[in-house]
Chains A and B, each alone.
Chain A
């Protein structure tokens, strides 16, 4: 009986693949007869994105990507309206292919420069640089500088902020709602900031890669990942407290906030590193100090939930919280400094935005209305968090 049924019925995987098979056959027929061929009797659509600009001693290097539907052949290179000799790793680029263009050129430090690629059809792909400046080479020294920068604007301020914990613990219970609301306000500011920056990178991404979708997918993936992680943590804390279904404990909440802030700081590091490498900002001492003050508040946000802990958290936990929230800045600064493509930056900012969104949700739910989040003091705290971040943000604007 069983034998007979097997003979009659195809295995499940065959049935599962059948629609795919039909699609393949249809695609084959479409390619063979190409009913819309007559619609394509137009010149090729050539689009090339310049993803990376590197200024070396006496030369310029461009990382380019074909982000149009058709093949593109780079024929000549114009620099400031003059044909220049150049080399290219691959002259003809298929869809989404990348190539490196190297142009020996005596560029002027600090001056704008306009580069154009001339394709085989005579189309020009312009690329304007606001100010040419030597791109840092990835050697031990510059690596060290970027790492130090990350340390100053990320790790140190966050760790310093953590030392608000003793003061928090002494504050009266009445103020708890204020502090948590302050944290939420701060996170809300970071969310808006991260989304805005992420959308900027999404816009700079090669059109065919669709930076907006990269950003959105990364954000949603981060949200889902953290929901799963949050559930895992909740199970762990359930076992510890023996109170099933209870909201996240103070320490777990602190780590979640630290993770969200950490990912935001990864993005912040990327932005600062990229700006520094691209010569767009003169990153002065003032700017570094501004970031430091701005980010110190983040430490306060992390330790706020620990106010409810009955026992004092170990120094190990505090160090770990500082590392989770601050260290990604270092990685971000280095990655941004050595030219991450806009697409990857859009992904990084997407993850950061999703994480912060999820953290806001979790923190909001954990604190709940019972502890005065929606009270007058709570509302004041939330707005206070926003305003404080905005005000300190002015220092780096």
Chain B
């Protein structure tokens, strides 16, 4: 009987002995095991940010390309001397790495999110041959002035799987615009990645500037009706980890477009600077001089600013939740 008591105690001691080394091992894991660690930039933000790096080559586009590449199309003149810009858009399903290691099953125009940044001058004729390479119906709906036939909605230019439609319209009015899919259910077709910039320049032109495309987008990666990733041009923290290089004294012109789904507002705020705001980019004189502008979905503005001193300057959404979920960026002024 005494033996039973002793066994009970020894059993208890065994539990302790067994827990001890296991606990110690768990504590040493961070030092001994293989890790993946964040970039220097992420670490310098007090632990905020994602861990690891996005494989831009696998995505098929880089944050720099999305920021600075405009697509003029294949340019020709018609009989009347009008400039004609022809494009081919293909709807393709593609998994896109929106944060390091996090893959979003995106629906894309031409394998990228946002789609190509169309650049035209007011009065140009735009012809877009749209091929649907997916199993869902899609459209391209342009924000601009055009006929009902070319509106890109169900019943007017909606394209079934494997089908083709050519959108044909005159680029007007000048300004910072966008295009997006208008098939139903709309929420899904937009937030999955079917959108892009449509920039129309005024005939008389604008002053020379370094032009940037900034599409404020977000991804509901777990499909619960709320976004898990916010970004400028798709990849979370892309321009925080690799700041946008700009030159001191050079005029910067950013076309900022909000396509964020599920949240009523997004915004852009520049640190240590103010900008001239051209609402929807439809005027030649600024509407406002400010350092923050909020936008609902499909609202977009043109902003102009200059940095006069070198250094690293933050810019981000001023919905701080979005900041910590990926919408945080830097200019590196030199």
Residues in chain A within 8 A of chain B (CB atoms): 61, 63, 73, 75-78, 81-91, 100, 102-105, 118-124, 138, 143, 251, 255, 259, 262, 266, 316-317, 320-321, 323-324, 327-328, 330-331, 334-335, 338-340
Complex Cα gap A255–B103 (Å): 61
Q: Which of B144-152, B159-167, B320-328 contacts A (4 or more CB under 8 A)?
A: B320-328
Q: Is B79 an interface residue (CB 8 A)?
A: no
Partner of B8, one of A84, A100, A323: A323
Residue of A nearest to B31 (CB): A87
Q: Is B29 an interface residue (CB 8 A)?
A: yes
Residue of A nearest to B9 (CB): A327
Q: What are 15 inter-chain pairs, A to B, with CB distance below 8 A? A: A75-B99, A76-B102, A81-B321, A83-B237, A84-B47, A85-B48, A87-B35, A89-B34, A118-B99, A251-B1, A259-B4, A327-B8, A331-B16, A335-B15, A335-B16
Whether B1 pairs with A317 at a CB distance below 8 angstroms is yes
Complex Cα gap A105–B46 (Å): 9
Whether B2 pairs with A122 at a CB distance below 8 angstroms is no
Contacts of B2 in A (CB 8 A): 316, 320
Whether A320 pairs with B43 at a CB distance below 8 angstroms is no
What is the 8 Å Cβ interface bit string for chain B, positions 9-36, against chain A (1 contact, 0 not)?
Answer: 1011101100110010010011001111
Complex Cα gap A328–B4 (Å): 13
Contacts of B35 in A (CB 8 A): 87-88
Whether B19 pairs with A118 at a CB distance below 8 angstroms is no
Residue of A nearest to B38 (CB): A85
Whether B47 pairs with A102 at a CB distance below 8 angstroms is no
Complex Cα gap A169–B48 (Å): 70
Complex Cα gap A160–B34 (Å): 53
Residues in chain B within 8 A of chain A (CB atoms): 1-2, 4-5, 8-9, 11-13, 15-16, 19-20, 23, 26, 29-30, 33-38, 42-43, 47-52, 98-104, 219, 221-222, 224, 228-229, 236-237, 321, 324-326
The majority secondary structure among interface residues of chain A is: mixed
Contacts of A88 in B (CB 8 A): 35-36
- CB contact under 8 A between A120 and B101, given known A76-B50, A85-B47, A91-B36: yes
Complex Cα gap A77–B38 (Å): 12
The majority secondary structure among interface residues of chain B is: mixed
Complex Cα gap A120–B50 (Å): 13
Partner of B101, one of A76, A82, A85, A124: A76
Contacts of A89 in B (CB 8 A): 29-30, 33-34
Contacts of A84 in B (CB 8 A): 47-49
Contacts of A63 in B (CB 8 A): 26
Complex Cα gap A103–B35 (Å): 12
Complex Cα gap A352–B33 (Å): 37
Whether B100 pairs with A76 at a CB distance below 8 angstroms is yes
Minimum distance in angstroms from A270 CB to a CB of chain B: 10
- Among B99, B221, B229, residue most surrounded by chain A Cβ atoms (within 10 Å): B221
Complex Cα gap A323–B3 (Å): 11
Contacts of A91 in B (CB 8 A): 36, 101
Whether A120 pairs with B33 at a CB distance below 8 angstroms is no
Given A83-B49, A335-B15, 19 more A-B residue pairs with CB atoms under 8 Å apart are A75-B100, A75-B101, A76-B99, A82-B321, A83-B237, A84-B49, A85-B42, A85-B51, A87-B51, A89-B29, A89-B30, A89-B34, A118-B228, A122-B229, A138-B20, A143-B16, A259-B8, A324-B4, A328-B8
Whether B325 pairs with A122 at a CB distance below 8 angstroms is no
- CB contact under 8 A between A121 and B4, given known A63-B26, A331-B11: no
Contacts of B47 in A (CB 8 A): 84-85, 103-105
Partner of B325, one of A83, A100, A143, A262: A83
Whether A83 pairs with B99 at a CB distance below 8 angstroms is yes
Contacts of A61 in B (CB 8 A): 26
Contacts of B26 in A (CB 8 A): 61, 63, 100
Partner of A331, one of B12, B219, B224: B12
Whether A82 pairs with B324 at a CB distance below 8 angstroms is yes
Contacts of B11 in A (CB 8 A): 331
Closest 7 CB pairs of A and B: A122-B221, A331-B12, A75-B101, A82-B324, A320-B5, A89-B33, A85-B38
Contacts of B100 in A (CB 8 A): 75-76
Residue of B nearest to A122 (CB): B221
- CB contact under 8 A between A338 and B23, given known A83-B324, A104-B47: yes
